[in-house]
A and B are shown apart, each in its own frame.
Chain A
Amino acid sequence: MTKWIIGILLIIIAVAGLWWGGLLDTIIPGGGGPAAVQQATSTPQQGQQPVSDLPTASNDASDNALMQDSAAIDAQMSALVTDSNTIDSSLNDKPTAQEF
């Protein structure tokens, strides 16, 4: 009788362990435990809408808005040139010769 109880307990612990580790999800979809849930939250959701980066409203296509948007884009383009130059200089970086 004791062996049966121990056996059942071991099975319960094993199933609980699989659930906790999220492995159960591979057998039963939706049956994943906390680990599976955590993993899922770290993956960005498909279809996620990017936040607007333009200074004007997304539905504002007026001449004035286009002018402001263009200026903001040009500022970023200019900053990208700087970014690119810093990559070049970091790839060509040489350490100062030391005494030893």
Chain B
Amino acid sequence: MTNSKIMRVISGTALAFTVLAPTLVLAAATGIDAALNTGVNTQTQAQTGGGNTGASVNAGASVQLSAAVTKRAKEKATKEIDRRIAALTDLNTRVGQMTKVSAELKQNLVLNTQNQITTLNNLKTQITNETDGAALKTQVQSITTDYRVYALVLPQTRIAAAADREATLINMLAEIGSKLQARLTAAQQAGANVSAYAQPLSDMGTRLGSAQTHAQAALTGAAQLTPDGGDAAKIKANTDALKKANAEIKAAQQDLIAARKAADTIIKGLKTLQAGASATTSTQVR
């Protein structure tokens, strides 16, 4: 029985949580907040500027939009804003369920999504009430501009949430691994042959260690990204980084599936051992 294998992983799992937290705190403090503030400020300025321009232009060449165009523009804008608000609200609920990241990171993620929701709600109100064509055009165009922030915050937070769940699963599987190890040791001491389950137990340990590495890489890779601001090179870099982080999430997921399968093999094996022990006991009684 390779007792040291599973124990080593359980120890590693404990380290995973202490490792995950500082990385997230650092990334959130330097990356997401700064990016978000930039986004909000830019938009506020754009909206203020747009309103002023609209008012001054009105005296001369005001942009005239037909009622049909205005109606269509407002409907499309509202639809897109509502879509984003729904996704961000759902995201906030998910962040609230996270248990393995630091309170600082959770607070940061909630703040980011909440700020986005507030900004979008304000924009929706402005667009709904806007009567000036030029101002409406500027406001509608800002939906596309602001999409860059949304397009980053959404997957970034989703990846953090998935990594958090993987951390939970690593913890759960490490705990059940410890229980299975105890059961196998007890069965072995009672004279049962448990050699067939040494490898699955060892595999569990190896897979959980790997899952931890992948989950950490996903979190680190995604959390440090900042909005691209329309910069083509940064758009590509962010996209690549998010895809890579997603691949890490999937790799960790595969490790967890394998660890779960190994646990199942041992659990089923324990039942066989029990059945064998009962049969032996029955025979002895006879």
For the complex formed, measure the closest distance between the CB of B261 and the CB atoms of chain A, giving whole angstroms: 11
**Is the CB–CB distance between A61 and B172 below 8 Å?**
no
Q: Among the listed A48, A65, A74, A84, which residue makes an inter-chain contact with B17, where contact means beta carbons less than 8 Å apart? A: A48
For the complex formed, measure the closest distance between the CB of B106 and the CB atoms of chain A, giving whole angstroms: 14
The stretch of B1-9, B70-78, B224-232, B276-284 that contacts the partner chain = B70-78
The interface bits of chain B over 134-150 (1 if a CB of A lies within 8 angstroms of the residue's CB, else 0) are 00010011011001000
Give the A-B contact count at a CB cut-off of 8 A. 137
Give Cα A43 to B41, complex, Å. 31
Q: Among the listed B83, B154, B162, B171, which residue makes an inter-chain contact with A50, where contact means beta carbons less than 8 Å apart? A: B171
**Is the CB–CB distance between A53 and B172 below 8 Å?**
yes
Q: Provided the pairs A70-B263, A76-B165, A90-B155 are in contact, do residues A43 and B22 lie with their beta carbons within 8 angstroms?
A: yes
Q: Among the listed A42, A72, A97, which residue makes an inter-chain contact with B76, where contact means beta carbons less than 8 Å apart? A: A97
B contacts with A: majority SS: helix
A22-77 at interface with B (beta carbon < 8 Å): 42-50, 52-54, 58, 60-61, 63, 65-66, 69-70, 72-74, 76-77
Is there a chain B Cβ closer than 8 Å to A8's Cβ? no
The interface bits of chain B over 2-20 (1 if a CB of A lies within 8 angstroms of the residue's CB, else 0) are 0000000000011101100
**Is the CB–CB distance between A84 and B21 below 8 Å?**
no
- Selected A-B contacts with CB under 8 Å, 26 pairs: A44-B102, A46-B15, A49-B14, A50-B14, A52-B171, A53-B99, A58-B178, A58-B179, A60-B179, A66-B180, A66-B267, A69-B172, A70-B176, A73-B176, A73-B263, A74-B260, A76-B165, A77-B260, A80-B162, A83-B158, A83-B161, A83-B165, A84-B162, A90-B154, A95-B147, A99-B72
